[in-house]
Chains A and B, each alone.
Chain A
């Protein structure tokens, strides 16, 4: 009923290919955007910003980057964490070398560095495929994290070996560092995430996106119909690593405030991969749904025993968390291997034809 499409006619090919073929979709997105831009910031507490809203956005962005590589171009990568690290360290170096730089510009530029590194580690993908490539991306993961640890220039020869985010201001507001308010940081993250998501949607719908999809579905066939595989795979690596790098810079500058090399180790890569896969490979919205689930779940699991008046030790709770996340991953893979996005698509189909079954 809510999704009734009666009366919405398409009279041109252009209208049929529009971003929102159904009016209700546009309305729904508008509602979500209003919530994200106005309602949440007005109602959320410091705790909500720090533990839910900002991390969900940042993880979604990282998953979006990975999804472009794995879901759209079909190149499985297990090195996302390290590429986030490249973005974060690049941003840190730029900010400390050029303190006058606008922080948002620095964050957006830091993606360029991770894109370069991504292309470098993407070159083997021209020869190596499937799981071999996945393990090859682990080379990037381990090598880069080792580099973050050993190359003291990267963290300005700090004794601690960690990077500390300085106080940075923009138009009179602190946007990062200990003095920045969570709400400002949230808005910065939201702006960048919205912008990059919009670009990603249009990129994947366009010529480049179709080239990627052809490469994903069968690269030899794609080559035979005249797609330049090198261009297609390397652009996928570049765009994906760019987004992942920006996510990494946001991760440290807008959320964590400090970072050690092992923060970017393999658990982070897997976390982002979970989000992308549970959300749905080859979808944009899935990344958000996946991030809400993966980031929100531990928060829920931590607070529920308190509400029920059950006292659980924190160590036990942490292990229970890992266990539950593990079983949920299996559960979601079994009920819908194509991810939460597919689940939503099915619901939407059902709603459109409701109350009739067919």
Chain B
């Protein structure tokens, strides 16, 4: 009885008793959800256009953020280092396409997946040698991102909204909208989607596989940089950031591997639900730190009912 009360009654009573705290929890969840969505978006883009499950997206976030901070430490002005970092990400995209992907065209999915794990390891070693392993501070104020906070008082309580979080949400929203516009309205975007639908058909109407792959990996690099800046200004930049890649995987499962909408909605859902679960159920009942697995279990349960995720393409199997 006591246990049932703790599971089914007490958490909700807490929520109603302190709505301001609930809102704060939801806001925090929303912000991390936005970042999960961003990483998932990088995955989805690459998966849609090449069927490559890009495990390296997480390390690309770290690498982009480290390059940015590292360049700034060398005395390059903030905005120029952003431009240079974009250049580095472009070079990375070209190199990956040339060295890794091109020789592996047409191999089974698992081989390409392993290759991206190889890229991950390489980038970890490379990044540690060049930038060192210690935690660095993101150059938030140098980039002109406001750092204060807004204090609201709903229901007579406190609700603190950090400016960086608001900026992150706004920038992410802009990025998603412009990405959707790019994919749906431009020639290049249509080429990406065509390639995702059918490689051979796309090749036969003259779409260049190589160009599109470089482009897609570059876009994933841009997304990685934005994610890196946003996450880095909250938690600092180090290789510990890599773990957020593992947070994006259940988002993909929940939303569906091919779906951009799925990545966004899945990310927001997981961000908020895992915070709620941790605060109201995980910490009091299970000893805390449930965030490491909650998203996976949630996604697993959803997948049992919808094997293609919430928004994925319907799986049609033929013999």
Residues in chain A within 8 A of chain B (CB atoms): 70, 76, 124, 127-132, 134-136, 138-139, 142-143, 145-146, 149-150, 218, 220-221, 224, 266, 270, 273-274, 277, 281, 315-316, 319-330, 333-334, 337
**Pairwise interchain contact B309-A132, C-beta atoms closer than 8 A:** yes
Considering only residues 241-293 of chain B, those with a C-beta below 8 Å from chain A are 246, 249-250, 252-253, 257, 286-287, 289-290, 292-293
CB within 8 Å for A323 and B126 given contacts A131-B257, A136-B253, A270-B117: yes
**Pairwise interchain contact A132-B292, C-beta atoms closer than 8 A:** no
**Pairwise interchain contact A330-B99, C-beta atoms closer than 8 A:** yes
CA distance A320 to B124 in the complex (A): 10
**Pairwise interchain contact A281-B303, C-beta atoms closer than 8 A:** no
CB distance from B78 to the nearest CB of A (A): 28
CB distance from B288 to the nearest CB of A (A): 8
**Pairwise interchain contact B125-A337, C-beta atoms closer than 8 A:** no
| Across-interface contacts of B319 in A (CB, < 8 A) | 218, 220-221, 224
| Across-interface contacts of B103 in A (CB, < 8 A) | 334
**Pairwise interchain contact A146-B289, C-beta atoms closer than 8 A:** yes
| Across-interface contacts of A277 in B (CB, < 8 A) | 110-111, 114
| Across-interface contacts of A224 in B (CB, < 8 A) | 319
Whether B307 is near chain A, meaning CB under 8 Å from some CB there, is: yes
CA distance A316 to B130 in the complex (A): 10
Task: Name, among A146, A266, A281, A316, the residue most crowded by chain B CB atoms within 10 Å (CB to CB).
Answer: A146
CB distance from A32 to the nearest CB of B (A): 27
Residues in chain B within 8 A of chain A (CB atoms): 53, 99-100, 103-104, 107-111, 113-115, 117-126, 128-129, 133, 246, 249-250, 252-253, 257, 286-287, 289-290, 292-293, 296-297, 299-300, 303-304, 307-309, 315, 317-319
Q: Main secondary structure on chain B at its contact with chain A? A: helix
| Across-interface contacts of B315 in A (CB, < 8 A) | 129
CA distance A130 to B287 in the complex (A): 33
CB within 8 Å for A273 and B129 given contacts A132-B307, A326-B120, A333-B104: no
CA distance A7 to B121 in the complex (A): 50
CB within 8 Å for A150 and B289 given contacts A132-B309, A320-B125, A334-B103: yes
Q: Which of B108, B124, B287 contacts A326 (CB 8 A)?
A: B124
Q: Look across to chain B and name the residue whose beta carbon is closest to the beta carbon of A149.
A: B289
**Pairwise interchain contact A326-B125, C-beta atoms closer than 8 A:** yes
CA distance A340 to B250 in the complex (A): 33
**Pairwise interchain contact A322-B53, C-beta atoms closer than 8 A:** no
CB distance from A185 to the nearest CB of B (A): 30
CB within 8 Å for A333 and B114 given contacts A131-B257, A135-B253, A139-B293: yes
**Pairwise interchain contact B292-A142, C-beta atoms closer than 8 A:** yes
Q: Which of A124, A130, A135, A329 contacts B115 (CB 8 A)?
A: A329
**A135-B249, A139-B299, A323-B122 provided; 5 other pairs, C-beta below 8 A?**
A129-B307, A135-B299, A142-B293, A319-B126, A322-B121
CA distance A212 to B107 in the complex (A): 22
CA distance A153 to B167 in the complex (A): 46
**Pairwise interchain contact B125-A321, C-beta atoms closer than 8 A:** yes
Q: Can you identify 24 A-B contacts, CB atoms within 8 angstroms?
A: A127-B303, A128-B303, A130-B109, A132-B307, A136-B299, A136-B300, A143-B293, A220-B319, A315-B133, A319-B124, A319-B125, A319-B129, A322-B121, A323-B122, A323-B124, A323-B126, A323-B129, A326-B119, A326-B123, A326-B124, A329-B115, A329-B118, A333-B118, A337-B104
CA distance A127 to B317 in the complex (A): 13
**Pairwise interchain contact A322-B104, C-beta atoms closer than 8 A:** no
**Pairwise interchain contact B115-A330, C-beta atoms closer than 8 A:** yes
| Across-interface contacts of A328 in B (CB, < 8 A) | 118
Q: Look across to chain A and name the residue whose beta carbon is closest to the beta carbon of B298.
A: A139
Q: Which of A130, A142, A221 contacts B296 (CB 8 A)?
A: A142
**Pairwise interchain contact A322-B253, C-beta atoms closer than 8 A:** no
| Across-interface contacts of A330 in B (CB, < 8 A) | 99-100, 115, 118-119, 122
| Across-interface contacts of B126 in A (CB, < 8 A) | 319, 323
**Pairwise interchain contact A131-B53, C-beta atoms closer than 8 A:** yes
| Across-interface contacts of B307 in A (CB, < 8 A) | 127-129, 132
Q: Which of B109, B111, B293, B304 contacts A131 (CB 8 A)?
A: B109
Q: Look across to chain B and name the residue whose beta carbon is closest to the beta carbon of A142.
A: B293
Q: Look across to chain B and name the residue whose beta carbon is closest to the beta carbon of A222.
A: B319
| Cβ-closest 9 pairs across A and B | A326-B121, A323-B125, A326-B122, A139-B296, A322-B125, A329-B118, A142-B293, A330-B118, A143-B293
CA distance A221 to B318 in the complex (A): 9
| Across-interface contacts of B115 in A (CB, < 8 A) | 329-330, 333
CA distance A127 to B119 in the complex (A): 31
| Across-interface contacts of B118 in A (CB, < 8 A) | 326-330, 333
Q: Which of A135, A218, A325 contacts B121 (CB 8 A)?
A: A325
CB within 8 Å for A329 and B117 given contacts A146-B290, A150-B289, A337-B108: yes
Q: Which of B123, B128, B297 contacts A139 (CB 8 A)?
A: B297
